Amino acid sequence: MTENKVVIVTGGSRGIGAEVAKLFAENGYFVCINYISNDAAAEEIKSEISQNGGRCITVKADVSISSEVIRLFETVDRELGRVSVLINNAAILKTQCRLEEISEDRFSEVLRVNVMSCFLCSKEAVKRMSTKYGGVGGTIVNVSSGASKGGSPNEYIDYAASKGAVDTLTRGLALEVAAEGIRVNAVRPALIHTEMHSSGGEPNRVERLKSKIPMQRGGEPKEVAEAIFWLATEKSSFVTGSFIDATGGL
C-alpha cells in the first residue's frame, strides 16, 4: 500500500498559503493548514477543500515556538501520515518605516516569526523525510520574498533581512540533505495582491507600485501557488537549492 501524499502549509489560512493548500488538495494531497489565530478563515479553507472531495485538517500553532511545531507535526503524523511536502509560508510584516524607527522588539519578533518558524519546521520535516532517519524523501519549499534582494528601504528592512536569512537557510539545507532524498527550494514573490500589505499600513501598495513592474500589474496568490507546487512535486525532480522570482520581472 502506497503512502498518502501529505503537505503541511504554514500560514495556510489566507493569501498565498490558502491558494497553496487548495492547489495541493486539488492534486490529491492530504492537506494540513497551519495557522496562528484566525479560526474562521482556516475553517473556511478546510470546508472548501472538503466540499471538493479533499482531505484536510487545521492545526492552530505558533510555528516560531519549538513545542508548538512538535505538536503540529505529531498531529499530522497521527491524523494524515508522514509529511511528504512542507511549505514554510508563515510570516509577519510590520508598519512601513525607516530603519532608525524600528524597535529592537519589533526586529526580534519579525526575525523570530519569519526565520525561526522556517528553521523549526524544516528540522521536524527532515527528521521524517530523510533517508538517514528511515524516511522516503520529500520536498521543502520556503516562501521568501523579492525583498530579500531589494532590501525594502523606507518600508520594511527588518522583513527584508528575515527573508535574506530564509534564502541562506534554503541554500544551506538544500546542500546538506540533497543526498538524503530531500529537495529544498524557495519562491520569492513580490507585489502580490494579499492581505499582508494591510499589515504594513498600506492596503493599496500593489496598485501604487505596479507601474514599476515590467508586466505593469501585481501578481495573484494563485500564480505564486503554481510556482510553489512545481518546486514541491516531481515536475522539478532535478531542482534543489534554487529560487523562483515571482515578481513580474522586478
* Cell triple for 13: 489560512
φ, ψ of residue 164 to 5 degrees: the values are: -60, -40
Distance of CA 233 to the CA centre of its chain: 15
Furthest C-alpha separation in the chain: 58
What Å distances lie between residue 99 and 158, 159, 190, 205, CA to CA? 8, 11, 20, 19
- Short-list 30, 23, 34, 36, CA closest to 7: 30
156 is catalytic: no
Residue 141, CA distances (Å) to 92, 98, 135, 184, 205 in order: 18, 30, 18, 6, 26
Indicate which residue of 29, 35, 156, 159 is catalytic: 159
Question: Contact at 8 Å (CB) between 45 and 33?
Answer: yes
Residues belonging to the active site: 159
